[in-house]
Structure 1
Amino acid sequence: MGERKGQNKYYPPDYDPKKGGLNKFLGTHALRERARKLHVGILIIRFEMPYNIWCEGCNNHIGMGVRYNAEKTKVGMYYSTPVYQFRMKCHLCDNHFEIKTDPGNLDYVIISGARRQENRWDPLQNEQVVPETKEVQKRLFDDPMYKLEHLAKDIKAGEDAKPVLEKLYERNENVWDDCYEANSKLRAEFRKQKKELKIQKDLDDKLLSKSSLEISLLPECEQDRQMAALMKLQSKPAKEREEEKRLDILMRPALPGSTQTTFGGLKRQKLINTKLSIKDLGIKKKKEDDNAVREKPKEVEKTVPSKDCEDNEEIKSDKCDGEVTQIGSLGLVCDYSSSSSD
């Protein structure tokens, strides 16, 4: 845009073409504000980040391709190639970082204010063709024996690569011999995968709508299925846990000093045990009650005096049709749940 500033613009009446262009006549530069530091050797240009970096001021990531207004300065020479240095301000903080060119290695070097994100690799590991270094080239030119050894290694590497190349050529010819058939196979495979992805997406959408979630689900794997099976075996249904808690409350002693209780008689106990689905606890409780019933009449005969036997038998026959239980040494407790009289 700078070179077109003086075109199709207003020319003052005192303009003299003999003095030069309009910029020279007005005493301005074609780059305007970008050339405001040109007298000290600094030109402001638009610089594009050559690779990913981390700003040392705010520790934020700056991606490759981000553009800045940088101050360009010539700082040296590499043989006949000038070396330039660029100074720019981070757009996320007040930190400045400086980068200069490295013509010898065809790269850029960070001077200060930032650090490079290292994601480089050795091209030899990827079997890429790497040009020879200057030291190797110089040695190949000066040392005939080294050149012969290097040539022998190159010939051996070429012979080793021939079988692989032949297999690749044969595979290419077999696969793409009939272009229509190869294209049909690829399209059929693509349609099959697309159908599977659509079915999986429908299942995921149903699950997310049922759970009222808005997240992306990862594909299911064998480890997830194993963990889900283990959690299913270890967990109990809510109804079963509620029944266990209810039975535990019913089996607690009625009095603080007592150790056993029939919570309303054997009939009520049997009724509750039939309603509950916990077989082990129900059988265990039934055995304990049966043993208590067998031992209780003997304890009653020992604790009740002989003079009041008749009165106690009348009370038992009239008011206690249920079970009579002795709690500690306090006395008798009768079950009135099955009695027909008041």
Structure 2
Amino acid sequence: MGERKGTNKYYPPDYNPKVGGLNKFLGTHALRERARKIHQGIIIIRFEMPYNIWCEGCNNHIGMGVRYNAEKTKAGMYYTTPVYQFKMKCHLCDNHFVIKTDPANLDYLIISGARRQENRWDPLQNEQVVPETKETQKRLFDDSMFKLEHGSQDLSAAESAKPRLVQLFDRNESLWSDSYSANQRLRQVFREKSKELKSSAAQDRALLEKSSLDIPLVSETAEDRKMASLLSKKYEAPNATETTELIRQNLISSPCLPSSFTPAKEKKALKALSEGKLKMSNLVKRKNNDSQQSKKKTESESKEEEILDSKIVNNDEQNEESENKKQKVTSLVGDYGSGTDSD
């Protein structure tokens, strides 16, 4: 509250009223530190963020309603309304962002340093009641035919929305016609929820006291129960239905493409298709070339097989001839020996 110091009731003994006032006599300003740049046309004010933004310096979210010490300057005029500009520093980094008023659209514009989080939509899409623009109001006042057409459009929109409004009204009546029973149902839900919370809190407290710990506990999950049963050697094996379901889930989640088809290859193929590098004519030519090459390979392989078969046949014939020669020689030797014995 430093700006109130200039309006106190104390006047020093050497005060001279001819100077024009106490602030002039003391050489200070009524706004004190807020007016340290007033010679540049800048006043320090407390600015409240009008909507959610993203800081471009640290990429952090700054919510609506966060307050900053901003330098306020006059940036221009919109007819007779002054346009003000506010410069402030982000509280999470050293980035500065500048916001300016927009009297034409009753809004604020971000000049630099930040970007707006877009949560806007067309109210006509949500069937909201939208006030008429100034141009429409002028035409309604001046043009009687436009006023008649506008009124007929409003009547048709009201007639089309009437069945939906009746359904909503009936549903509301069926749910809230008896306020006592509706309140009783809601309180019952809240009671059950509070009982669950109290029981879980008591269990957590008992566990922490037993373990001599002082840490917050999270809710228990099926994975935690399974891990605890494994650690305590009380794990029950899943039955056949569970195993088949697990196998089925693994098959569904497994990729249909081979492991060699990496995401990089997929991106490259999609890029080639999008740029038109792969055409049907090229694919047909490549297919024909592949088929011709495969035919040549099969022909060469068949020739090699024939040559191998002929070599094998020749080798077999040569082996048979050598065996026959050996048999003849042995028979001659045997006959000669037998003849000598007889003599």
TM-score between the two structures when normalised by the length of structure 2: 0.55
Q: Which residue of 1 aligns with 2:70?
A: 70
* Aligned equivalents of 1:63, 1:56: Cα separation in 2: 14
Quote the residue 1:11 is aligned against: 11
Say if 1:147 and 1:110 are closer, same or farther in 2 by CA, change over 3 A: same
Gaps of at least 5 residues in structure 1 are 221-230, 237-342
Partner of 1:36: 36
Q: Secondary structure at the match of 2:23?
A: helix
- Which of residues 212, 216, 219 in structure 1 aligns to 2:218? 216
Q: Give the 5 Å matches for 1:38-53.
A: 38-53=38-53
| Inter-CA distance 134–204: structure 2 relative to 1 (3 Å threshold) | farther
Shift of 1:70: 0.9
Instruction: State how many pairs are aligned.
Output: 230
Is 1:27 the counterpart of 2:27? The answer is yes
Shift in CA distance, 129/216, structure 1 to aligned 2, threshold 3 Å: farther
The offset of 1:177, in angstroms, is 4.5
- Provide the rounded CA distance (Å) in 2 between the counterparts of 1:162 and 1:21: 68
Q: Which amino acid aligns with 1:91?
A: H
Code of the residue aligned with 2:48 in structure 1: it is: E
Matched, 1:135 2:125: no
Deviations along 1:90-134, one digit per CA (max 9) or x if unpaired, are 222222111000111111100011111222222223322111233
SS at match of 1:4: helix
| Residue matched to 1:94 | 94
User: Retained in 2: the 8 A contact 1:34–1:43?
Assistant: yes
Per-residue deviation, 1:158: 1.4
What does residue 183 of structure 1 align with? 183
Contact 1:54 1:60 in 2 (8 A): yes
Residues 214 and 102 of structure 1, relative CA distance in 2, 3 Å threshold: same
- How far does the alpha carbon of each residue in 1:169-203 deviate from its partner, in whole angstroms, 9 at most, with x for none? 44545554444343333323332444456567778
| CA separation of 1:173 and 1:58: change in aligned 2, threshold 3 A | closer
The alignment partner of 2:187 has SS state of: helix
Q: Relative to structure 1, is the Cα distance of residues 125 and 233 closer, same or farther in structure 2, using a 3 angstrom cutoff?
A: farther
1:4 and 1:140 map into 2 onto residues whose CA distance is 51
Q: CA deviation at 1:23?
A: 0.8
Paired position in structure 1 for 2:113: 113
Q: Counterpart of 2:152?
A: 152
Equivalences for 1:256-271 in 2 at 5 Å? none
Identity of aligned residues (%): 72
Please state how far the C-alpha of 1:4 moved relative to its aligned partner: 2.1
- Give the distance between the partners of 2:93 and 2:180, measured in 1 at CA: 58
Cα distance, 1:83 vs. partner? 0.6
How much has 1:72 moved relative to structure 2? 0.5
SS of aligned partner of 1:120: coil
Deviation at 1:152, TM superposition (A): 1.0
Query: What CA distance in whole angstroms lies between the structure 1 residues aligned with 2:7 and 2:104?
Result: 42
- AA aligned to 2:218 is S
- One-letter amino acid of the counterpart of residue 121, structure 1: W
Tell me whether 1:60 sits opposite 2:60 in the alignment: yes
Higher mean alpha-carbon deviation, 126-135 vs 158-167, is at 158-167
Distance verdict in 2 for CA 1:25–1:60, change over 3 Å:
same
SS in 1 for 2:104: coil
CA RMSD of aligned residues (A): 3.9
Q: 2:208, 2:6 → 1: CA distance?
A: 63
Aligned to 1:123: 123
For 2:208 and 2:150, how far apart are their aligned partners in 1?
Answer: 64
What TM-score does the superposition give when structure 1 sets the normalisation length?
0.55
Range with bigger deviation, 168-177 or 75-84: 168-177
Output the CA distance in 2 between the equivalents of 1:8 and 1:148: 64
Distance, in Å, in 2 between the alignment partners of 1:204 and 1:79 is 66
Deviation at 1:87, TM superposition (A): 0.9
Q: Distance in 1 between matches of 2:221 and 2:142?
A: 61
Task: Provide Cα deviations, 1:290-332, integer angstroms capped at 9, x if missing partner.
Answer: xxxxxxxxxxxxxxxxxxxxxxxxxxxxxxxxxxxxxxxxxxx
Q: Distance in 2 between matches of 1:120 and 1:218?
A: 39
Match of 1:148, as an amino acid?
L
SS at match of 1:54: strand
Secondary structure of 2:183's counterpart equals helix
Distance 1:90 1:160, change over 3 A: same
